[in-house]
Amino acid sequence: MAEDAVRLGPLVHRAVHHAAAVWIVAAVEFVVSMAVVQLAWTTPYSLQNNVISDLGNTQIGNWPNSNSHYVSSPWHVEFNAAVIVLGLLVILGALLVRTAFPARSSRTAGLGLFCLAGIGSIGVGLFPENVNLHVHAIVAAIAFVAANLGLIVLGVAMFRDTRWDGYRSYTMFSGLIGLVAFFLYVGGIYPGLGPGGMERLIVAPLLLWLVVVGIHLLRVPAYAPRIVPKASSL
């Protein structure tokens, strides 16, 4: 008698639940780290004028020159560690969540971009802005562009999959907002937000998406292959 493993309904593999939990933790730990490290500043930290990377700046004084804004982040080590953890968790989640998408090239490309974004995030933590600004700018740009472009591509990968009903447009729109904010930031256009606010608009859609989609995936029933007998031909 032969046996087949079958599953019924719009379910996900248990590994997808693990990915969802990992992504939620990734977003929460990074947001909490930003909030906590900001509180440790010896001078007021401006969400409008200070960019996120100022939290990981290892020096005390005006940055990047005597005419620029003042930075003082005593807990820069903790922040840079949090950025590295964020990158590692994004990559881990991307590897675990694979089966939540139909097997198509857009899935491979989208999750590949997420892994690239995770590598960029790790680079941001390893190379703070005042240690090597050139490398820092490159890896930060890689993280920003790859993550938001990855959202758009994953939105395409969600088509014709009932598990993603209601999340396709949201996913693609989140990536589009992040990409537009990135190009405005690079162009020095900060309409009422300042450089710090505009940079946060680049990363906020992704962080929110990780939590929202993570919760959604945790609510989709998981399956373990159920073995049912298959009548053998005589």
β-pairing, 222-223 vs 2-6, is unpaired
| Look-up of token digits 């939105």 | 155
Do 203 and 2 form a contact (C-beta atoms < 8 A)? no
pLDDT at 160: 86
Do 41 and 34 form a contact (C-beta atoms < 8 A)? no
Query: What's the full length of the chain, in residues?
Result: 234
Each residue's pLDDT, cut to its tens digit, for the chain (234 residues) gives 343 444 445 788 889 999 999 999 999 999 999 999 999 988 888 899 889 999 999 988 887 776 677 888 899 999 999 999 999 999 999 999 999 998 899 999 999 999 999 999 999 999 999 999 999 999 999 999 999 999 999 999 999 888 898 899 999 999 999 999 999 999 999 998 999 999 999 999 999 999 999 999 999 888 765 555 555 444
**C-alpha angle 202-206-208 in degrees, rounded to nearest 5:** 115
The residue among 129, 126, 125, 121 whose CA lies nearest residue 63 is 129
Indicate left, alpha or beta for 157 from its phi (over 0: left) and psi (-120 to 50: alpha): alpha
Name the strand (E) or helix (H) holding 223: strand 222-223
- Round to whole Å and give the CA distance between 82 and 167: 28
